[in-house]
Amino acid sequence: MREFDNRDIEWKVTAPTTENTALLRSTIDYIAKLYPPPLKVLDVGAKEGYSTYYFNKLGYDVIGTDIRNNFIEYAQEQDWNVIFDDMIDTKIKDKFDIVFMRHCLEHVRHERRMFRNGISLLKQGGVIIIQVPIETKSQYEAHARKKHLTYFPSLNSFKIDFLKSIKGVETVLVDMASNLGIETAGLKDIFYIGRLK
């Protein structure tokens, strides 16, 4: 295991459920209202590829990435465009209109590096879109033994501790996902859009 991710933990492929697909669709439908297709999208941490599939269905030119072979194999069996790439040390050279990272940053120790690498893949004027959960320290510690390696305790800490350290993007939007009408199944998620300067 490398010291900055949790790839030693087994992640099983899960079949789509009404709830998890509704959550993804709610987020992607919101994005589509702001940035309608056809645009080129990089879907980071695509897991089984459900979000990649839905972006494609709406008319986006999308590539999904993940670091787990079982997710990639499942997505490719469905004919969804998901490839191996580690955003901490990305090999991707293309540029994108949208880099989408939903529930990714909490799974790595070097979340700023992952974010900066996402920014480096944007076309001029492109946007990076992040969705991360807010967790208390005790929630984080419970997850740390499982899958979460980084946590954001509040919207203010995300703005102050995380965003202030990132150069090269201007904040377009940062709010609680539920305030924007994005379905979160009761989770407290931060939703962020930053535009490449």
Q: What is the pLDDT of residues 26-47, one digit of tens each?
A: 999 999 999 999 999 999 999 8
Q: Which CATH number fits domain 19-167: 1.10.340.30, 3.40.50.150, 1.10.150.120, 3.30.70.520?
A: 3.40.50.150
pTM, 2 dp: 0.89
DSSP state of 145: T
Q: How far apart are CA 163 and CA 40, in angstroms?
A: 24
> String of b and e for 111-139 (b: at least 16 CB within 10 Å)?
beebbbbbbebbeeebbbbbbbbbbeeee
pLDDT tens digits, one per residue of 129-179: 999 988 877 777 776 556 777 778 889 888 888 888 888 899 999 999 999
Question: Residue 38: is the preceding peptide bond cis (ω within 30°)?
Answer: yes
Q: Cβ distance 65 to 118 under 8 Å?
A: no
C-beta separation of 38 from 61 below 8 A: yes
Q: What is the predicted pLDDT for the residue at 117?
A: 94
Residue with tokens 């949790």: 6
At residue 161, the 3 state secondary structure works out as helix
Tell me, what amino acid is at 64? G
Cα gap 70→159, rounded to integer Å: 34
Per-domain residue ranges for the chain? Answer: 19-167
Residue entry with tokens 């499982």: 146
* Predicted confidence (pLDDT) at residue 58 exceeds the cutoff of 60: yes
First to last CA, the chain: 35
Do the beta carbons of residue 153 and residue 93 sit within 8 Å?
no
Residue with more model confidence, 87 or 143: 87
User: What is the torsion angle, in degrees rounded to the nearest 10, for the CA atoms of residue 75, residue 77, residue 83 and residue 87?
Assistant: 30
